[in-house]
Amino acid sequence: MLLAFGVRLLLYRLLFLICIILRSVGQGNAGITSTFIRSEWPSVDIPLDNEIFSIPKVHNAPQQVHITQGDYDGKAIIISWVTIDEPGNSKVQYGTSKQKYDFTADGTVKNYTFSTYKSGYIHHCLVDGLEYNTKYYYKVGVGDSSREFWFQTPPNIDPDASYTFGIIGDLGQTYNSLSTLEHYMQSGGQTVLYVGDLSYADRYEYNKIGIRWDAWGRFIERSTAYQPWIWSAGNHEIEYMPNVGEVLPFKSYLHRFATPNRASHSTSPLWYAVRRASAHIVVLSSYSPFVKYTLQWSWLQEELKRVDRRKTPWLIILLHVPIYSSNSVHYMEVSHLEYTLQCVKR
């Protein structure tokens, strides 16, 4: 028996030695987790005059419409949109029948500047008190410029609730982006879990960054106006550019995309949690402090105590930088967070 063990140990050592030799001469695949090779990298950005970025023709019509979960348990929605010419109003009309709106909700409006760019009027409106498993129709805008959409609320919080999430990250606005979005829309997904790097607008000249954000908002509207996208931020949302006076990280992102952080007692819209169907979803920020005793770390300790696997057996953590990855671009960027999560006691 000891002899057999010794033989196996010798074979393991020989195999390890062979791998080292192959790697040293470039014949091995150590560290490669997939054989997939992109046919084209990087993909080409779609020109701004392409019809997928088209602007509504009616004066001051709402555009860039998107929705996200508005509370902790899925009975509220935040509806966001932009009007370019003037503020209009931030009212949402909604109901359970098409073109018949029994309820209204009032929102807020704001705008911002980035370098020489000035944004349109960005509206956010919380619609709460909704029923589970119900289709709602809603209208935003004023008079002839108004536009109508719909969404479906999730099932109630239940361990057996069936629900389909899509996961998208690093979408951008290339021809590959369009292919990805169309593929998702045909998949039957009910809610997107977005893992950061949205528009890639930061790759453009300073005065064009906001223009590309607007284009991206119109690009994704075909999905985001009809189902929630749960947002998290990546490095391309930081946009720290002190040479043009822009020193507030995540400025465009925080103005354009609302999150229900207060519903989970978070002090920042960059990290928060929601429950949806049978899942408890925790959103973290890779580029905010997360070591021990920071605000994000302290919040996470408390939020994980609220996880009840009897009600939500699926615990999903959204984070832009992968903790375990062979991607050299983000290598060991979140090693501190990896340690923090591994040390969390449940």
Enumerate the active-site residues.
330
CB atoms within 10 A of CB 155: 17
For residue 176 the two structure tokens come to: 């590959």
Rounded distance between C-alpha atoms, residue 64 and residue 83, angstroms: 9
The residue with tokens 């832009």 is 320
Of 319, 42, 69, 295, nearest in space to 197 by CA: 319
The residues that bridge with 93 in the sheet, in sequence order, are 104, 139
Check if the beta carbon of residue 206 is closer than 8 Å to that of residue 114.
yes
Helix, strand, coil percent values for the chain (each to nearest 5): 30, 25, 50
The dihedral region occupied by 133, where left means phi > 0, alpha psi between -120 and 50, and beta the remainder, is left
Q: What are phi and psi of 242, to 5 degrees?
A: -65, -20
Residues 65 and 86: their CA atoms lie apart, in Å, by 16
Which helix or strand (DSSP H or E) is residue 58 part of?
A: none
CA distances to 4, 195, 230, 324 from 318, rounded to whole Å, are 47, 6, 9, 14
Burial class (CB in 10 A: 0-12, 13-18, 19+), 185: middle
What is d(CA 249, CA 169) in angstroms, rounded to the nearest whole number?
19
Instruction: Quote the longest CA-to-CA distance of the chain.
Output: 87
229 alpha carbon, distance to own chain's centre: 6
Cis peptide before 269 (omega within 30 of 0): no
Task: Please tell me the distance from the alpha carbon of residue 317 to that of residue 304, in angstroms, as a whole number.
Answer: 11
